[in-house]
Amino acid sequence: MQLSILFPAVVNGILNGALYALIALGLTLVYGVLHIINFAHGTLLTAALFAAFFLYRSLGLDPYVALLLLTPAFFLIGYALQRFVIGPVSRGSDSNILLVTLGLAVIIENGLLFAFRGDTRTVDLPYSFAVVPFAGMFVSVPRLVGFAGAVVVALLLWLLLTLTDTGKAIRAVAKEKLGAQLSGIDVAHIYALTFGLGTACVAVAACLLIPTYYVNPHVGNAFVLIAFTTVVLGGMGSIPGALIGGLFVGLVESVCGLYLGESLGQIGIFTMFILVLLFRPSGLLGARA
């Protein structure tokens, strides 16, 4: 394979990976603290995409501006979902949490279908096609912004977790729930807060994705498996793990796609995932189980 194709493929892979990382950041936080696999994550991404789309359509809000609105909005939605639906209904049972998030996923996806039909919607912004030439290739500007966004969000989350009191509370709950409770931490509140943060990440991802992608009720499904793969690969609960894992997944996907074709190339991600887990069962940067 000529370098002229390989190099751009690597760059593209990393840029795609940044997006996967962004989606995975929310998921890994939720897993690390609540120890649940959130089946509804993909549909929450879809919902955020719809929100960004309608803000653009009705208010003419650029998605990068809508981001400032949607991030807190989706934080609240995530908080409410965990506090008032998932938490109370599942009562801590792992298998029930699975079912509840599954149920939520079905409700959200089909609610969007019912409300907005199956049409594919796109936003066409003046910078959707903007490119910067770089080392003989064209790099998509929105994708670059996405990359920056992923790094910034990862950094912010990491700072939140290590420096703030809330962050310390979250880490305490993640490490030892009973102990945290005994120290006076409101676990239900922390759980909801974490879920809210995870959902907020998804809102950021949606706003950064929408300039180059499209919106319909089933869109989130295409990212769910990749997000799960990224989370587990990076180590569940590890913020830097999700970032690195995402970039790595994007890279593997791109290079394998180049050599094996887009269809067969997908196998690279999952094969690598299996191999990593067989040799490092808690992921690249995960804490030993």
Which residues 9-38 are close enough to bind another protein by CB under 8 A?
Answer: 9, 12, 16, 31, 35, 37
Interatomic CA distance for residues 76 and 82, integer angstroms: 10
Which of 68, 76, 152, 274 is the binder for another protein (CB under 8 A)? 274
Which CB sits closer to another protein, 182 or 263? Answer: 263
Which of 95, 165, 182, 184 is the binder for another protein (CB under 8 A)? 95
**Residue 89 interacting with another protein (CB under 8 A):** yes
Q: Assess contact for 165 and 216: CB atoms under 8 A.
A: no
Which CB sits closer to another protein, 54 or 270? Answer: 270
**Residue 58 interacting with another protein (CB under 8 A):** no
**Residue 191 interacting with another protein (CB under 8 A):** no
Which CB sits closer to another protein, 124 or 165? Answer: 124
Which CB sits closer to another protein, 90 or 181? Answer: 90
**Residue 114 interacting with another protein (CB under 8 A):** yes
For another protein, which stretch binds (CB under 8 A), given 64-72, 146-154, 180-188, 277-285?
277-285
CA dihedral 221, 31, 273, 138 (to 10 degrees): 60
Least separation, in Å, of the C-beta of 139 and another protein? 10
Which CB sits closer to another protein, 43 or 169? Answer: 43
**Residue 128 interacting with another protein (CB under 8 A):** yes
Residues touching another protein: how many (CB under 8 A)? 81
Which of 73, 144, 185, 277 is the binder for another protein (CB under 8 A)? 277
Least separation, in Å, of the C-beta of 72 and another protein? 26
**Residue 72 interacting with another protein (CB under 8 A):** no
**Residue 103 interacting with another protein (CB under 8 A):** yes
**Residue 57 interacting with another protein (CB under 8 A):** no
Three-state SS annotation for the chain: CCHHHHHHHHHHHHHHHHHHHHHHHHHHHHHHHHCCCCCCHHHHHHHHHHHHHHHHHHHCCCHHHHHHHHHHHHHHHHHHHHHHHHHHHHCCCHHHHHHHHHHHHHHHHHHHHHHHCCCCECCCCCCCCCEEEECCEEEEHHHHHHHHHHHHHHHHHHHHHHHCHHHHHHHHHHHCHHHHHHCCCCHHHHHHHHHHHHHHHHHHHHHHHCCCCCECCCCCHHHHHHHHHHHHHHCCCCHHHHHHHHHHHHHHHHHHHHHHCHHHHHHHHHHHHHHHHHHCCCCCCCCCC
Amino acid making up residue 169:
A
**Residue 214 interacting with another protein (CB under 8 A):** yes
Least separation, in Å, of the C-beta of 194 and another protein? 16
Write each residue from 254 to 273 as x if it is in contact with another protein (CB under 8 A), else as -, in one continuous string: x--xx--xxxx-xx--xx-x
Which CB sits closer to another protein, 119 or 165? Answer: 119
Task: Pick the closest to residue 241 from 253, 256, 229 (CA basis).
Answer: 229
